[in-house]
Amino acid sequence: MKAYKLNDNVVKYTFGNPINTDAVVLSGEELYKDNIDFFNIKAEEDLSFSYIMNKTDIVYGLGESQRGMNKRGGIYEAFCSDDPMHTPDKKSLYGAHNFIVIDGKDKFGVFVDCPGKAVFDIGFSHKDELKIKVEEKDVNIYIINGKSAKQIVKEFLNIIGETYAPPKWAFGYQQSRWSYEDANAINKIADKFIENKIPCDAIYLDIDYMESFKDFTIDEKAFPNFKDFVQDIKNKGFRLIPIIDAGVKIEKNYDIYEEGVQKGYFCTDENGNNFIAAVWPGRCHFPDFLNSEARRWFGLKYKNLTELGIEGFWNDMNEPALFYTNRGLKEAIETAKASEKENLDIYSCFALKDKFINMSNNIEDYKSFYHNINGKLINHYKVHNLYGYNMTRSAAEGLEEIENNKRFLLFSRASYIGMHRYSGIWTGDNSSWWEHILLNIKMMPSLNMCGFLYIGADTGGFSSNANSQLVTRWTQFSLFTPLFRNHSAMGTRFQEPFSFDEDTNGILKKAIELRYALIPYIYSEYMKAVKNRDMYFLPLSFVYEDEMSKRIENQLLLGDSLMLTPIYEENAIGRYAYLPEDMLLWKVKEYEKRKYSIVKQGHHYIDIGLDEVPIFIRKNKMLVLGKHAQNVEKLDNKELNIIAFVEDKAEYIYYDDDGKTCDYKNNRYTEIFIQIEKTEKDYVMTVENRGNELVKELNFEIVDIDGNIHRKKTYLNG
Ligand code: GLC
């Protein structure tokens, strides 16, 4: 083992000869060291690291995974999995995010940079033991020091590099569904949004738009004159976002297939033949995204669609999902044939069923194909978790080459640490279950800890049928997530706002309008988090140090000023909320009509009607609120409202930029520094404009600790 110091707080321990995953962007200088801080290490069949936790230690992290924000009590496997049943017993979801923070007697972070399977047993097998096991003995382990969990996360975000920023329009509401079968269906959806005056920025094209599910093709029958169609929809105010899948259909004369074969860009089996497994189109080959040439080749194919006016994509099935291989299919059929004349008892009947179930995403299949990494053949199983990451990297690098400096919308299903530099993620095939709103809430800060900021779940749930109440409560939470998309599966109940009754449509419309009014704050907080390597959603304990705040998992902090207490239970008319300090509560029915109440530090039951969104503004903090419009480009935020709860002094930096280019990376952005200070009788505002030419008026609504509202106005830009 070798140790390298990356900076004062991070040491990398290298075991064997690990593959470069590009997760971490810093390298370090070698140290002399013969032990790894904190861990007891064992190298038998697997390499394992163990640590004894104190009773009250909390373990944060693991990004996209089941259970709570505190991961203690669970066992988790980092192995990107196409598993649509997100029940609490599932050890793996679509992402592999091997970063944890131990917050207790010791405080430290661990990043296990291992592209194969890693198991995190966090007090499951033994209540106090944290044990990390990796099958591969070639691995980098990073130990991150810091004074608090929050600081450790910041150190981690520093070494993995700056997070992706989507275009500003991608902060608008987005409507999706698998089964918008043709241009007509999409046009109808667009028209309904306009008719109902519900803001919306994007409509999604699921696999329905492709010809026989082939990447970069268009079904000309269902979507004739695609380029004009994209433009027509854009003229109506919406962008179309097509899906791209990892598998490439095996079909003669299909250019992507032919080229991939000819250039040797597909993954191969042990005999050097292109690996075959089925996904949506049937049998496919799989681009070798770990091969840099293949990556560039596939990435530039996105041009086929950008040339038609497309400005955003979602990459799917990139764990990669394998429905079956010839091997699995043959085995299942043979077992079935042999069983035909048998008297199947419970064991053999289940074994037969399992043969068919295990045809999909089978480990044996993952072990049967290879990547060509810099001329070396590497078995897929060893680098499994890098596949979706590199598909998305391929897209991001391709898009950059296609149109340099333009921000595209891009997010992926599978992911690994480091992919956050290229795109966002959505949390995959959840269900229309109340439990999944809560899982969504808890997962958000964990994903932020792993670098992913542009995130969101399928609002309303993907599988199963949603009722109006579930979609309402879910929308009332999702309106705060950077990716705000309602998506559902083919065959399930439609869940667009207008697919329900009029009341529900009205409530959803108000919630979506609130989202648009909040965009000045949401965008400002998002971009500051990108630039400062901060989180957007935080657990309460990252700001408040009291014991109770450490145990609250169903409330979140959003950026600098807000606390959220979403409703995630059916038929609830309110909920319990814990306030670590006095806060200002704004129950939003319509954001234009504002009424506030002060809620004191402590535990409370808060009534929250089905048509209300609770927003807590923290003490000595402020919220920037604009107005809604039909889409983000139509927002007119010349006048901004500053809603502040001020005991003595509040400060805020309002960030903005062009929302279209990557110029913000070269410091081309604007800020308005706002300070509100209480004097003996009044409030004094200091506003320092650092380059913002758009905002003309700031309307202050300052609420004092007795609940009195002080209204003031400041003019900017002449
Ligand atoms: C996968 C995706 C889902 C999509 C479906 C059809 O299940 O996760 O979002 O709708 O494939 O493309």
- The DSSP secondary structure of 383-400, one letter per residue, reads HGGGHHHHHHHHHHHHHH
Distance from the CA of 348 to the center of ligand 1, in angstroms? 33
| Pocket residue to mutate for ligand 1, from 83, 86, 178, 215, most atoms within 8 A of Cβ | 178
| Pocket residue to mutate for ligand 1, from 206, 313, 427, 492, most atoms within 8 A of Cβ | 206
Contact 425, 412 (CB under 8 A): yes
**Amino acid in the structure at residue 581:** E
Q: Which has the closest alpha carbon to 23: 82, 98, 76, 93? A: 98
Nearest atom in ligand 1 to the alpha carbon of residue 176 is: 10
**Amino acid in the structure at residue 509:** K
Distance from the CA of 487 to the center of ligand 1, in angstroms? 9
Distance from the CA of 429 to the center of ligand 1, in angstroms? 7
Do the domains 525-715 and 2-160 match in fold?
yes
The CA distance from 352 to 649, in Å, is 69
Nearest atom in ligand 1 to the alpha carbon of residue 429 is: 8
Nearest atom in ligand 1 to the alpha carbon of residue 245 is: 12
* Helix (H/G/I), strand (E/B), else coil: 261: helix
Rg (CA), the chain: 26
Distance from the CA of 466 to the center of ligand 1, in angstroms? 17
Phi/psi at 310 (nearest 5 deg)?
-80, 140
Q: Which has the closest alpha carbon to 478: 487, 466, 491? A: 487
CATH topology of domain 525-715: Immunoglobulin-like (2.60.40)
The CA distance from 215 to 234, in Å, is 22
* Helix (H/G/I), strand (E/B), else coil: 586: strand
Q: Between β-strands 424-426 and 409-412, what pairing exists: parallel, antiparallel or unpaired?
A: parallel
The CA distance from 115 to 505, in Å, is 45
| Pocket residue to mutate for ligand 1, from 317, 391, 412, 459, most atoms within 8 A of Cβ | 317
Nearest atom in ligand 1 to the alpha carbon of residue 84 is: 7
> Which DSSP category does 406 fall into?
B
Token pair for residue 110? 């661990």
Measured in whole angstroms, the distance separating CA 106 from the mean position of its chain's CA atoms is 29
Contact 39, 50 (CB under 8 A): yes
Q: What pTM, to 2 d.p., does this model score?
A: 0.98
Domain spans in the chain, listed from the N-terminal domain onward = 2-160, 325-359, 525-715
Token pair for residue 676? 């509100």
Distance from the CA of 316 to the center of ligand 1, in angstroms? 7
The CA distance from 210 to 304, in Å, is 13
Distance from the CA of 413 to the center of ligand 1, in angstroms? 9
Distance from the CA of 320 to the center of ligand 1, in angstroms? 13
> Strand order of the sheet with strand 562-564?
537-538, 556-558, 562-564, 613-617, 583-588, 596-599
Token pair for residue 300? 């530039």
Atom 4 of ligand 1, residue of closest alpha carbon: 178
> Which DSSP category does 560 fall into?
T
End-to-end CA distance of the chain: 63
Distance from the CA of 83 to the center of ligand 1, in angstroms? 11
Distance from the CA of 287 to the center of ligand 1, in angstroms? 19
Q: Where are the alpha helices (DSSP H) in 378-454?
A: 380-383, 387-402, 434-449
| Pocket residue to mutate for ligand 1, from 429, 436, 458, most atoms within 8 A of Cβ | 429
Q: Which has the closest alpha carbon to 609: 628, 590, 582? A: 590
Distance from the CA of 229 to the center of ligand 1, in angstroms? 23
The CA distance from 399 to 393, in Å, is 10
Atom 10 of ligand 1, residue of closest alpha carbon: 178
Contact 285, 275 (CB under 8 A): yes
Distance from the CA of 243 to the center of ligand 1, in angstroms? 9
Per-residue model confidence (pLDDT) at position 4? 95
User: Is residue 145 exposed (0-12), middle (13-18) or buried (19+ Cβ within 10 Å)?
Assistant: middle
Distance from the CA of 496 to the center of ligand 1, in angstroms? 17
Contact 485, 426 (CB under 8 A): yes
Q: Across-strand partners of 102?
A: 59, 108
User: Cα torsion for 313, 319, 324, 328, to the nearest 10°?
Assistant: 170
Contact 216, 301 (CB under 8 A): yes
Per-residue model confidence (pLDDT) at position 131? 98
Contact 171, 626 (CB under 8 A): no
Contact 345, 385 (CB under 8 A): no
| Pocket residue to mutate for ligand 1, from 462, 464, 483, 490, most atoms within 8 A of Cβ | 462
Q: Categorise residue 291: left if φ over 0, alpha if ψ from -120 to 50, beta otherwise.
A: beta
Distance from the CA of 82 to the center of ligand 1, in angstroms? 10
Contact 164, 424 (CB under 8 A): yes
Domain 2-160: homologous superfamily in CATH? glycosyl hydrolase (family 31) (2.60.40.1760)
Nearest atom in ligand 1 to the alpha carbon of residue 317 is: 1
Nearest atom in ligand 1 to the alpha carbon of residue 206 is: 12
Nearest atom in ligand 1 to the alpha carbon of residue 490 is: 10
Token pair for residue 486? 């309602």
Atom 3 of ligand 1, residue of closest alpha carbon: 429
Contact residues of ligand 1, CB 6 A cut-off: 178, 206-207, 243, 316, 413, 428-429, 487
CA distances from 435 to 87, 193, 438, 439, 568 (A): 9, 29, 5, 6, 7
Distance from the CA of 490 to the center of ligand 1, in angstroms? 9
Q: Where are the alpha helices (DSSP H) in 533-585?
A: 547-551
Atom 5 of ligand 1, residue of closest alpha carbon: 178
Contact 11, 31 (CB under 8 A): yes
Token pair for residue 280? 């949506």
Phi/psi at 426 (nearest 5 deg)?
-115, 160
Nearest atom in ligand 1 to the alpha carbon of residue 177 is: 10
Distance from the CA of 207 to the center of ligand 1, in angstroms? 8
Token pair for residue 31? 């140290």
Atom 7 of ligand 1, residue of closest alpha carbon: 429
The C-alpha angle with vertex 70 and arms to 66 and 73, in degrees rounded to 5, equals: 70
Contact 168, 637 (CB under 8 A): no
The CA distance from 111 to 416, in Å, is 12
Mean pLDDT by 10 residues, the chain (718 residues): 95 95 92 86 92 97 98 98 96 98 97 97 98 95 97 98 98 98 98 98 98 98 98 98 98 98 98 98 98 98 98 98 98 95 93 96 98 96 98 98 98 98 98 98 98 98 98 99 99 98 98 98 98 98 98 98 98 98 98 98 98 98 98 98 98 98 98 97 95 98 97 92
Q: Which residues contact 74 (CB under 8 A, 6 or more apart)?
A: 65, 66, 67, 122, 123, 124
The CA distance from 166 to 485, in Å, is 14
Nearest atom in ligand 1 to the alpha carbon of residue 243 is: 12
Half-sphere exposure of 418 (CA within 13 A, CB side): 22
Contact 701, 711 (CB under 8 A): yes
Distance from the CA of 84 to the center of ligand 1, in angstroms? 9
Q: Across-strand partners of 598?
A: 584
**Amino acid in the structure at residue 385:** N
